[in-house]
Amino acid sequence: MKIFCGRANPTTGSVEWLEEDEHYDYHQEIARSSYADMLHDKDRNRKYYQGVRAAVGRVKARGQKALVLDIGTGTGLLSMMAVTAGADFCYAIEVFRPMADAAVKIVEKNGFSDKIKVINKHSTEVTVGPDGDMPCRANILITELFDTELIGEGALPSYEHAHRHLVQEDCEAVPHRATVYAQLVESRRMWSWNKLFPIRVQTSLGEQVIVPPSELERCPGAPSVYDIQLNQVSPSDFTILSDVLPMFSVDFSKQVSSSAACYSRQFEPLASGQAQVVLSWWDIEMDPEGKIKCTMAPFWAHSDPQELQWRDHWMQCVYFLPQEEPVVQGSALCLVAYHDDYCVWYSLQRTSPKKNGRVHPARPVCDCQAHLLWNRPRFGEINDQHRTDQYVQALRMVLNPDSVCLCVSDGSLLSMLAHYLGAEQVLTIESSEASHRLMKKIFKANHLEDKINVIVKRPELLTSTDLEGKKVSLLLGEPFFTTSLLPWHNLYFWYVRTALDQHLGPGAVVMPQAASLHAVVVEFRDLWRIRSPCGNCEGFDVHIMDDMIKHALDFRESKEAEPHPLWEYPCRSLSEPQQILTFDFRQPVPPQSVRAEGAIDLKRPGRSHGAVLWMEYHLTPDSTISTGLLKSAEDKEDCCWNPHCKQAVYFFSTILDPRAPPGGPQSVSYAVEFQPHTGDITMDFTLKYPG
């Protein structure tokens, strides 16, 4: 049986559904999953083990059999911990079939098949009774159903159902309790991920300012949390306005409700400023006394920063207030947290909601289109004034008073720059209705609705009538397309340029005129863990999981690089950056493949975890925009990456391979090929050792 899977197609700028093997999507989920990261999270594993031992001990002390329900068992690790701690029997629930199959094998290999039953169902489908999946209710509930937001993976409904149908009243629970914390801050950098700032354009007639429409100003923003590695945000990028506030707790040993709720905490601001952002995280206490605690607190709020555990499966949350609000030091306010069954959001109020009688607000939803079209990094990119200045300087070099400009990028402000810099006629192609509506609002707010012509169609369908019979003298692109996942997916601009060849006038200029693919070999401080085999975890053999991930990585897409925002993941370069391929946008896409082979010499000692790849766009011969490395790093410095873009990481298969020769590789050979019929880039890297 075949299934359909979505893949970005750079030749069309769209996501297309391809027929794949029935196991294909499962393998991708496994290969891209956080299972390896969780198994490497020693703090999490150790605290869970301590909590499980304590819970089993309390049940045994009451003279009862310890019957465990483990929801979301994954590898079966927590169930094996429970049996080792003395549990009489475990029911391990896992809804994802390939993972459930792996758990059965791991449990068997570790010798626990007689005391652990793996049930391949959603927990809400599990039955209890003589003919059910479980003969009776459990008296110990173990779960790991949490995401960065705590409740985003459906923890509340799952707990609610389990208490009603699967576990005994007053059961033991591991974890026993979770508490969500919040801290109010002012941060221009983080606020730039949520709102459109005024953008300044220096022209021959003076300064022009692109202002955001009032709809964008009033919009509460996207409803989803922005989860990031908050420890990588510099303290200089935000001002703390409040103490760390415990907003609400959930006791998992008692009946849990998934109903909407709100919680208010009064506080006095530590400083005056503009309240814009709520930083949030949580901790879990594995025991009723709260002595065994696992926390996601960032370094400045951690009780022992030296013991800070890196993890990628649980990070920290950034929430944006609906509007920025002035606060005065010492003048009491209320921070209010709301949640439904899956989401959390915040508001700032002068008095408690219980006192002012306000109705519980609905989850914020974008009504301006911008947050639907632009993700958080894209907001930051558009608000980057230095980046805008680079495009302005390049445009000055290629624009003429009689220029007919055609802009091709999703939701881009390039057309406005071209108009302000004196182009005779400016047109922009918006292939989606959402981007069309958004750009019309922005043009209207800046009185340009009659100055810039918006064409709503796919670029390859453009006709001479759309261009009012004129030829394009300047084709512009950032390039940026919302369907792009990997850096080179924006090569869709090249395909657009090729499709529009008949509409380009003699001597027409294309900006950017070219692009290049670059690579550097790096040693990650921590990110390597997500692709590193675990072997043994807390004394349990999980090699089967390692083999499963390795098998998953043998599938086609998994052999490719994967996108990561590397400003969040420190790494050190072991080589000099190297240009791998070039793409000349002044010419149409060639019919034949473009291939490059070579070697990257390693200049610095260290563990070669992978190669990082990115695109650079050459606007003019003297102006280049990098989506990756922003400056060369010294020997001991971390690399400095473009914070608005995801870079592509190709993890070497020999990460922490015990069979690797001592001393490390001398170089990394590569074979990289651009395939014009698919628009994709295939690659292979091989570590070369001495001798």
Residues labelled catalytic: 144, 153
Q: How far apart are CA 656 and CA 613, in angstroms?
A: 21
Q: How far apart are CA 162 and CA 447, in angstroms?
A: 58
Integer angstrom CA distances of residue 120 from 66, 75, 95, 183, 254: 22, 12, 5, 40, 25
Give residue 345's Cα distance to chain centre: 19
What are the φ and ψ backbone dihedral angles of 177, each rounded to 5 degrees? -155, 150
Q: How far apart are CA 461 and CA 463, in angstroms?
A: 6
What are the φ and ψ backbone dihedral angles of 496, each rounded to 5 degrees? -65, -45
Using the structure block, give the residue that is written with the tokens 């309240």: 275
Give yes or no for a contact between 457 and 467, defined as CB atoms under 8 angstroms apart.
Answer: no
* C-alpha dihedral, 303 to 304 to 310 to 313, nearest 10°: -20
Radius of gyration of the chain (CA): 28
Q: What is the enclosing helix (H) or strand (E) of 398?
A: helix 385-398
Number of Cβ within 10 Å of residue 289's Cβ equals: 9
DSSP letter string, 163-210: HHHTEEEEEEEES-EEEEEEEEEE-HHHHTTTSPPPEEEEETTEEEEE
Q: How far apart are CA 119 and CA 432, in angstroms?
A: 44
Burial of 612 from C-beta contacts in 10 A (0-12 / 13-18 / 19+): buried
| For residue 512, cis peptide bond before it (omega within 30 degrees of 0) | yes
Q: Which amino acid is at 515?
A: A
Give yes or no for a contact between 349 and 342, defined as CB atoms under 8 angstroms apart.
Answer: no
Give yes or no for a contact between 587 and 676, defined as CB atoms under 8 angstroms apart.
Answer: no
Of the chain, the end-to-end C-alpha distance in Å amounts to: 48
| Helix, strand, or coil (residue 689) | coil
Using the structure block, give the residue that is written with the tokens 């923003």: 221
List 688's β-bridge partners, or say none. Answer: 667
List 21's β-bridge partners, or say none. Answer: 2
Give yes or no for a contact between 578 and 603, defined as CB atoms under 8 angstroms apart.
Answer: no
Give yes or no for a contact between 561 and 32, defined as CB atoms under 8 angstroms apart.
Answer: no
Q: Is the dihedral of CA 389, 393, 398, 404 positive or negative?
A: positive
663 contacts: CB under 8 Å, gap ≥ 6: 689, 690
What are the φ and ψ backbone dihedral angles of 287, each rounded to 5 degrees? -135, 160
Supply angle C-alpha 464, 468, 469, rounded to 5: 55
| Helix, strand, or coil (residue 581) | strand
Q: How far apart are CA 332 and CA 557, in angstroms?
A: 54
